Amino acid sequence: MLCNKETLKELFKKDEAIKYLKPIRGTPPYWQSSQKDIFAMIRQLGVPTFFCSFSSADFRWSEIVNTILKQQGDMRNTENMTWDEKCKVLCSNPVTAARMFNNRFNTFLKDVIMSEAEPIGKIIDYFYRVEFQQRGSPHTHCLFWVENAPKYGEDDNEEVMSFIDKYVTCEIPDEKVDKELHDIVMAVHQHSKNHSKTCKKKGTVCRFNFPRPPSTKTFISEPSKPDKDTKKDEKVAKEILSGLWKVIKEHENENLDVSEIFNKSGLTQESFEKYFRFITNRNTVVLKREPNEIYTNQYNPHLLRAWNANMDIQYILDAFSCVVYIISYISKSERELGLLLQQTKNEAEEGNLNAQQTMKKIGTSYLHHREVSAQEAVFRVTGLRLRECSRKVEFIPVGENPCRMSIPLKRP
């Protein structure tokens, strides 16, 4: 087929020409095929219940640096080391660092998340992928399907909200009651009041929406239906809510609770929810939150305590937002590369190169343009998993309307 010029042209046209990169882990065609697998799972299992992320905390987890020190016969201990010194040790052995993250996450998944204790409910299926931050440490993004979880849009909203309250919170624990969790939340779960560079990426002050508004209870904010007065209402809502932020700031150090803050702003929980709906663009979960927790990211207490590093957990409200999450998280760094490969392909086509030359050019273009951190390189070279899933997706092309089926790896 490749010797035939016309067939070759067709292959290029249909994008088949870069598909030979599919088995190469981490390439755009590789992630594209993962995406299809997830869509197959969603089609078969329905919308996943939770979207979770787990970041790495190389220095909080003192065992990583201590292990590397031990390997090198170094008698120092992390406790007496400066940040710079610890950095040097960590960089000196990215293999151990990457492998320890990998082991920690897989143990955490198996022995905590999927355990009989069911910290976020009984998991029936999952998908996760490993991604790497700019400075090179890994983190994971996961989807979990929970048995008998209420479904938004099908079940009662009250039921969904009490399900969320059971597993997700942004509460700062009482230091006297639970010092351990209090300290973790204060250390790794406070969004910076100055925000970071990544906050402003999309032209907003904070794309993670911090600070988040206080509320006496958890509710699902659905955009209110437009009517004649909506424009005006939206303006009023914005004014009233910015009044709320002013009141919060004025009484920052007085330890007032939500009701007192609402009182001072001329709001009630009911009117707050009403105004909040006017400025809501898409269905959003607003968690129960005290005024001193407006910079606290949500978490699950059991998972955060065990993981001991930043995490995120979100109840997935609808298929659309779920797909958006997956696509934007799965292909962030690969998107540019996809364009690059496309361009190389086009150039090759125009230059009338033969098949072998074209493939070579595309391969080279991939190998030379993807920047990877040391830990990411370790993951790829040593065959650590970049993704894993409770199902294997088998493509069975039958009939006029072929679709992807996912089958469980283990019979329940």
Using CB under 5 A, list all residues that contact Zn ion. 195, 199, 206, 210
List the one residue out of 283, 273, 287 whose CA is nearest residue 244: 273
* DSSP sequence for 217-240: S-EEE-PPPP-TTHHHHHHHHHHH
Pair 302, 217: CB distance under 8 Å? no
**Distance in Å, CB of 195 to Zn ion, minimum:** 4
Give the number of C-alpha atoms closer than 13 A to the C-alpha of residue 276, restricted to the C-beta side.
23
Q: Which amino acid is at 386?
A: L
Reading the block at residue 299, the tokens are: 């978490």
Nearer to Zn ion, 107 or 196 (CB): 196
**Distance in Å, CB of 311 to Zn ion, minimum:** 17
Bridge partners (DSSP) listed for residue 155: 152
- Hey, CA dihedral for 232, 238, 239, 244, is it positive or negative? positive
Nearer to Zn ion, 30 or 295 (CB): 295
Nearer to Zn ion, 210 or 325 (CB): 210
Q: Which amino acid is at 143?
A: L
Pair 295, 167: CB distance under 8 Å? no
Nearer to Zn ion, 124 or 206 (CB): 206
**DSSP 8-state class, residue 191:** P
**Distance in Å, CB of 189 to Zn ion, minimum:** 13
Helix, strand, coil % over all residues of the chain, rounded to 5 = 50, 15, 35
Pair 296, 185: CB distance under 8 Å? yes
Instruction: Report residue 183: phi and psi, to 5°.
Output: -65, -40
**Distance in Å, CB of 294 to Zn ion, minimum:** 12
Nearer to Zn ion, 209 or 263 (CB): 209
**Distance in Å, CB of 133 to Zn ion, minimum:** 16
Nearer to Zn ion, 86 or 191 (CB): 191
**Distance in Å, CB of 238 to Zn ion, minimum:** 20
Reading the block at residue 55, the tokens are: 């970041």
Nearer to Zn ion, 194 or 356 (CB): 194
**Distance in Å, CB of 170 to Zn ion, minimum:** 15
